[in-house]
Structures are given as structure tokens and as C-alpha cells.
Structure 1
Amino acid sequence: MAEINHFEYGWITPTLSYALSVLGSVIGLVCAGRIRTATGAGQRAWWGLLAAWSLGGTAIWAMHFMAMLGFAVEGTRIRYDVPLTAASTAIAVAAVGIGLAIVGTGRLSAVRLIAGGLFTGAGVAAMHYTGMAAMRLDGTLGYDRARVGLSVAIAVVAATVALWLSMTVRRGLAIAVSALVMGIAVNGMHFTGMSALSVHPHERRGELTGTEVGSLLVPIILAVVFGVVGLVYALLAAPTDDDRAGAAYLAARQDGAVPGAAGEPAPDPVGLRARSTLGQPGTPFPSRRDTGRR
């Protein structure tokens, strides 16, 4: 059995992977909050896409491969199959997106939350082991089933908590604390799954195919850039207090809670409505008797 080193560069890669998971979680929670305040299906879909990319693409996928930069196996180089690596990205983003759609459609309930957590957690685990299957090295991969099951359980619990937080957390401090907790959960799942891995070396069978792990820095950086842009956009698009007050007033008018609804005109104590009709076609000019002037 080959010797495995998960921290070839010391604590640099796990620290950066944790930072990525926290950053993606913050962005995802902020964007998920915009889903609740969206006024149309198009806006909800847009914010849902940004939240799915932030959580699935940055907090989970980019974190995974950042941690893999510090992964090494004695006696062999490691390369990654590009199509499988891309598939792992799609799995992570799609799993989070579908989970958000499950819990975000209609009223949040325990059934929706559990269903979304199970689906998303299974997707996160599938992303992890798809990324591991993308590795090309001079050896055969083996897994401890008990630890694999534990990693899947952690993924499901972490996904369920993440979906619940995405639908309930609103304030900045709560979002920050939640992101720190989510970062611990995501990294815990990753390194639990990695601890289940063993590599049985075999003789070199020729040149390894695929891309080197250093080449993954480019998509990782792009994931972070798009995530940060999404966060900035979400913050700029946040409704102000005036926007909320205006929306509440319009809703009250539609419900008939304020004058002006149900076809009844609002009070006009100073006669502004009458003055606004002067000069319009068909409107007679008021006489001195009408205006009270002498």
C-alpha cells in the first residue's frame, strides 16, 4: 500500500480550502436571501442560479480541488481526467440548485427540508467521489466502506443544515457565523472521505493522461471571481428601506387597506386633483363662483 500525504504543503491548502468554503457559503446565503425577496419567477431563477453556483461551485467544488492540491501519493504523479472533473462541477452545482428549488418552492416544511437535504447531500458526495475517480495515477484506489458511509452521512446533514440556513438566515452576523459552520461541515466531509482512501501501487503502465493538478488553479480562481462578482451584484441589488416601504404601500393599496383601492379615490383635502384637470380637453374652466374668488 502506497503512503498517502494529504498535506504536502502543510496547512496552506486546508486553510485555503476552508476559506473558499466559507466565502462560497457567504455568497450562497446572501443570494439565497434574495430568492425570498424576488418579485418574479425570472428573478427567483437568477438568484437561485447564483446561489447554486456559489455553494456548489465555490464552497464545495473549488474547496475540494484546493484541498487536492496538497494531496500526494508516494512513488507516482497524479493527473486528472478533464471530462470527469467537469462532470463533478456540474454535479455539485445541479445538486445544490435542485435542493434550493425543493425547499424554496412553497412553504418551508420538514418534508421539503429532509428531501432537499437528502438529494443535495447525495449530490455533494457524488461530486466528491467523481472528483476522486477523475484521478489518474500508478495505482488502484480502494475505499473503506464505513468511512465512505460516514462521509455521505456528513454530506447529507451538512446539506440539510445549509438549505435550512439559506431559507432562514437574513442578518449579516448570522450569515457570517453560519458560513463558518458550513465551512467546517464541508471540509469535515471532504477529509473524512479522503481518510477512507487507500492506494495500491502497480508498475508504471505508460504515460499518465489528463491534466496536472496545478492546472486546476485556473478554474478555481474563476469560480472565486464569479462568486465574488455575484456577491457584489447581490449586495448592490439589495432592496433599500424606501423600496420595502414602497412595496408595502402598494401591497396595502391592492388589499384595500389604504384609500385609493377598490375604485375609491384617495382624500384630496387641498384640491390638487381638481387643479390637475385644468387645461385638459373637455374640462370646463371654473368660474369665479366655483373657485370662490370675487
Structure 2
Amino acid sequence: MEGTVDGFRYGAVTPVAAYVMACLGGALGLRCIVRSLLNTDSWKPGWLALGAASIGCGIWTMHFIAMIGFQVEETRIRYDTGLTLLSLAVAIVVVGVGVFIVGYRGAGTANLAFAGIVTGLGVAAMHYLGMYAMRLNGAINYAAFTVALSILIAIVAATAALWAAVTIRGFLTSLGASLVMGVAVSGMHYTAMAAVSVHVHGTTGGSWAGASASSLLLPMLVGPVIFLVLAGVVVMFDPLLVLGDGDWNRATARREPAAPPAEEAPAPTHSSLFETPAGPSRARQHPYDTPQRAGEW
């Protein structure tokens, strides 16, 4: 029989919390990527990796917070621990691929399109891998058209995020871009969930062992949330990340002391008797060194 699917078990609590985490991961990731571009002397691979991990953790955390609100009334839902952790690794790795492509090769049309497609497909793979980790007494079916639409949204969202990462430099503009990213990621998730239907096998039970949502997801979410908090601390204590390129340059200029006035050239010194204040001159004549005429002493 068809199960009764409900994606909003706790009302607006899980969608709002999921959106906030997606925005937080996007904001931190964008600022870290901007940091690698503003100062070429910094450790670029480290900043790009931190940005990719922040965005990946934000997307993964958003997905599973939203999944806490998902239920099928006729059966309990459990999760496979290994596949759930694998979905987190997939999210971070595929976002990292896209971030490093645009971070090192720039946001040209070809690079941005390739990186956006790879990252979008990876985000979709993370979502559906997380769905595959579900264990319930039934079979999950997907509507093909809605699945394709969710993948398209993931690609567009990933491309826009990567473009923003290498184009937008200011703090407020990055914040606005992260809010848009949160909408796109949440839209992709709930579009994909709209494709889901469940055929329940019956009420006699079945082989669907695994950890329940509350016993698995809540503890597992603690790690990524702590990571995002620590990444936020790194961002907060780096003035270049907070101010942005132009504001940082102005602030540095205000702190630098004015250059001292140029010193006047010292008066010429005379190192020998054969120099006069006017510069190199004739040799001085001795008082008795006068021209002699013929017949004179």
C-alpha cells in the first residue's frame, strides 16, 4: 500500500533551521574563497579547502536537518551509518573539486560551466545517497521528471555559488549571495523530496535495521555544526575576510604613518685644496707662482 509521506513533521522548525545552516555554510565558504583571492601570499590551498569544507558541511547539515522532519506514517525510518557518513564525504569532495577549479583556473565560461556541472551533480549525489541510506519497511519510488528538475536546480545553484565565490568580494554582498545560496540549496532539497513516494510492504515488519533518525542524525550533526562554528571563528578573527579588499586597503592606509619629508641635500664638502665651493676648480696658485717674462727672476 502507498505510505503517507510527510516532509514537515515539526512544521516550519526543520525547514528554517535547515535554511539557516545552508546560509551559514555558504557565507563561511564564500569568505574563505575570497580570502584566497585577496591575498596571493596566503596559503591558498588551505583557504580553498576550508571554504569547500564549509559549503559541503552546510549543504549536508541542511539536508539531514530537513530529513529529521521527514516521516512515513505507516513505518518507522532508520538510517545506515556508513552511507550517511559517506554522503558527507561526497558533499565536501565534490564542492572541493569545483572550488579548486575556479580558485586556480578562474571563472571563465568553460571552467565555470564544468565546475558547476561537477559540483551540482555531486550535491545531487549527496542527496540521493543520503536517501539511499534510509531504512524503512517499504520501497522508495521517485518521479523521474521531478528528479531531473532537482538535479538541474543543483547544477544552477552550484554554478551560481562558484561564480559568486570568485566574483563577489565585499562582506555585505557575500552575505547576500549566501542567502540566495540557501534558497537554492533548500529549493533543490524540497524539490527532490517532492519526487518521493513510498510503497509500504505491510505492518508485519521487515529487515530494515538501522539507527533511528533521532539517535543517529542528531549526534552526527554535532560534528559539522562545531566545524562551522570554528570556521566562523577563523573568519571573525581575520580582518581581511571581514572588511574585504577595498575597505582593508583603506584601513591599512589610515594606519600607516606619513612618509617623512625629503631631506635637503647637504652642502658640498671640500676634500682637497683643489676644490672650491663652486665645485671642482683650478689648482690654487702660490703667491710667488707668477708668470715670468724673459729676463726676469
**How far 1:11 sits from its partner (Å)?**
0.7
Q: Residue 53 in 1 paired to residue 63 in 2?
A: no
Question: For residues 149 and 107 of structure 1, what CA distance do their matches in structure 2 show?
Answer: 29
Separation (CA, whole Å) in 1 of partners of 2:250 and 2:43: 20
Task: Report the Cα distance in structure 1 between the residues aligned to 2:98 and 2:137, rounded to whole angstroms.
Answer: 37
Contact 1:27–1:228 under 8 Å retained in 2: no
Report the counterpart of residue 219 of structure 2 in structure 1.
218
Residue 253 of structure 1 corresponds to which residue in structure 2? none
Q: TM-score normalized by structure 1? A: 0.80
Aligned equivalent of 1:10: 11
Aligned-residue offset at 1:108: 2.3
**Greater C-alpha Rg:** 2
Match of 1:20, SS state, is helix
Percentage of identical aligned residues: 43
Give the total of aligned pairs.
Answer: 251
Aligned pairs (5 A) from 1:34-73: 34-40=35-41, 43-58=43-58, 60-73=59-72
Pairwise CA distance, 1:218 = 2.2
Find the counterpart in structure 2 of residue 232 from structure 1. 233
1:94 is matched with which residue?
93
In the alignment, is the contact (CA less than 8 A) between 2:24 and 2:178 conserved in 1? yes
Cα distance in 2 for partners of 1:87, 1:232 equals 27
**Distance apart, 1:231 and its partner CA:** 2.1
Secondary structure of 1:7 counterpart: coil
Structure 1: runs of 5+ lacking an equivalent? 246-266, 272-286, 288-294
Residues 106, 166 of structure 2: 8 Å contact kept: no
The aligned residue for residue 24 of structure 1 is: 25
Which letter maps to 1:233? V
CA root-mean-square deviation: 2.3
In 2: Cα distance, 1:170 partner to 1:96 partner? 20
SS in 2 for 1:32: helix
Which letter maps to 1:52? A
Amino acid at match of 1:224: V
Contact 1:34 1:234 in 2 (8 A): no
What does the per-residue CA deviation read over 1:244-275, in whole Å, with 9 as the maximum and x for residues that have no partner? 66xxxxxxxxxxxxxxxxxxxxx98479xxxx
Change (3 A) 1:107 1:10: closer
Give me the whole-angstrom Cα distance separating, in 2, the residues matched to 1:18 and 1:75.
Answer: 28
Equivalent position SS for 1:209? coil
Cα distance in 2 between the residues matched to 1:50 and 1:193: 28
Structure 2 Cα separation of the partners of residues 146 and 206 of structure 1: 30
Who is 2:180 aligned against? 181
Question: How far is the alpha carbon of 1:48 from its aligned partner?
Answer: 1.1
Query: Which one-letter code corresponds to 1:232 in the other structure?
Result: V
Residue 145 (structure 2) aligns with: 146
Q: In structure 1, how many angstroms separate the alpha carbons of the residues matched to 2:230 and 2:98?
A: 23
The worse-fitting range, judged by mean Cα deviation, of 47-56 and 234-243 is 234-243
Shift of 1:73: 0.3
